[in-house]
Amino acid sequence: MTISEVRLYLQDSDEGQIESSNVSRSSSKYPPQQDQMTMFPEYRDGDWMSGGGGYERFVVELETADGATGFAVNESGGEHAARLVDRHYRRFVEGADPWEINRVWEQMYRAQLPTGQGFLTHNAMAGVELAMWDLLGNITGQPVYNLLGGQVRDEIECYVTAYPEVMEHFGDEGFLGVKLPVHHGPSDGRAGIDAVEEMVRDAREVFGEEAEVMIEAYMAWDREFTVRVADRLAGYGVKWIEDPLLPGHTTDQYRDIRRSIKPIQLAVGNLEWGHKAFHDLIENDAGDVIQPDVSWTGGLTETKRIAAMAKPNGLPVIPHYTTPYTCHFIASCAESPFGEYMGGYHTGVEPNIPVIDGEPLPEDGVIHLNDDPGFGVELDRVTVVPLDEA
């Protein structure tokens, strides 16, 4: 049995929009979230992301000569990543045995080394690799977590990532805690530190003293601001500060920050691609919590390697964003104690991925996976268009 066809889709801009109770960002009392571009005033509203192949979905679907299929949705990469699969990685997939996931992954990885080694190439690789896992699950009749060695936990506890203006809607949903994207950074000086403290104080009032509270800095801070915020938050029981610096070549700075902000932990890796970057961070004591994104860092193959590196160092691996793919990893990985539900601007627990049916969602803060084959979800074909028709 071999893979005979690779099909690629993009989300139809006119279909598949989830009916959501999202709060209008324009009416928020908060400024836009800080990110790596907000040092430039003209890009502080986040518009720089649109059309850049960033947070745009694409779908890889595989079919064998016998008619078995598997698919994967990647939340990022969009048309750019889909074109990479179409024009570059397709040659390694068509004709391959569905069991040869490691072989196909290694071929894609080596093929992109001279020109890639970044976000788009790893997104494209993940799309193919995850579709192969889904295909293999459908062929064998097994959920992917069984193909990964079986479940080590029957349920996945979740924290919620929610913007401060909507976090009150999640206070009674059973989540183990909340992660807050920040709206202030170094350019705001002491007023920014005051604002972060107020945000955390409000979170404590909503979620209580027993809940975990985390901070998402999303590449928008520097060492000084991070350490000063941690010092201010010393009495609030904050669990971690996440990705405060621009990714790449941050090991020495992160090791220093990690030591300086204890007992608050440092979470790293959301914006890193591939095993080499994580090896550098892990082996050089540059983080307390390791946070790969399964769909960004190259798929389950890479995420398993990252977990294997973290294990002897006693570091938890808590992936970014609980997609179906993340959930099957967490369910089968002893080093991954809980997951993240992306609440964003929602005012309740709602689906996040409009092009699939059956997205696993938390109930009372906990996700239970079914035992359906593959990743246990279906492609909503009404919401996608073939790549060449987009």
Positions marked catalytic? 320
Q: For the chain, percent helix, then strand, then coil, each to nearest 5?
A: 40, 20, 45
Q: How many residues does the chain have?
A: 390
Q: What is the DSSP letter of 152?
A: S
Nearest to 108 by CA among 87, 86, 129, 125: 125
* The dihedral formed by the CA atoms of 220, 223, 224 and 227, expressed in degrees to the nearest 10: 100
Query: CA-to-CA distance for 10 and 31, rounded, in angstroms?
Result: 31
Judged by DSSP in three states, 138 sits in helix
Q: Residue 304: is it exposed, middle or buried by C-beta count within 10 angstroms (0-12/13-18/19+)?
A: middle
CB 297 within 8 A of CB 274: yes
Q: For residue 20, what are the contacts with CB-CB under 8 A and spacing of at least 6?
A: 346, 350
**Hey, what are 167's tokens?**
């976090």
Q: For residue 216, what are the contacts with CB-CB under 8 A and spacing of at least 6?
A: 161, 179, 180, 181, 182, 242, 243
Query: CA-to-CA distance for 155 and 322, rounded, in angstroms?
Result: 13
Query: CA-to-CA distance for 318 and 192, rounded, in angstroms?
Result: 28
Q: What is the DSSP pairing of strand 177-181 with strand 212-216?
A: parallel
Query: CA-to-CA distance for 246 and 35, rounded, in angstroms?
Result: 9
Backbone angles phi, psi at 181, to 5 degrees: -65, 135
**Hey, what are 356's tokens?**
């699939």
